[in-house]
Amino acid sequence: MANLEGANLKKANLRGAYLPRAQIKGANLIKAHMEGAKLVKAYLEEANLAGAYLFMANLEGANLQGANLEMVDFEEANLLGTHQLTIDQLSRVKTLHNAKLDKELCLLLKIKYPALFEISNR
């Protein structure tokens, strides 16, 4: 299990990174490229993911409490079973087009923020 707690990974290329259960709490991941990253059950509390690219990333079961998700690209990402993920956090993302979300969360978002499910302009 990787420990990246508080790490500065701004603009890091983490494409395809295998980080299940990683401790990434409070890390700076601004504009990080994390396409296809495996972050299953990772601990991302208070991490700053602003502008990060998480196309097809797997965050199933990850803890996102207090994470900054401003303009994150979650297209085709797996967000099933995430912990502490709020409507407010998700209302600030760039896109959730074809993302996998828990049913209840998905329904609420589609009602309040339907534009999030449209194809993004990368």
Look up the domain containing 63 and give its range: 1-109
Percentage with pLDDT > 90 across the chain: 95
Q: Is residue 121 part of a domain?
A: no
Whether this model's pTM surpasses 0.75:
yes
- Based on the structure, what is the number of domains in the chain? 1
Nearest to 29 by CA among 71, 61, 62, 1: 71
Kindly state whether residue 38 falls inside one of the protein's structural domains: yes
User: Quick check: helix, strand or coil at residue 28?
Assistant: strand
What's the CATH number where 74 sits? 2.160.20.80
Q: For residue range 91-109, list pLDDT tens digits in order.
A: 999 999 999 999 999 999 9
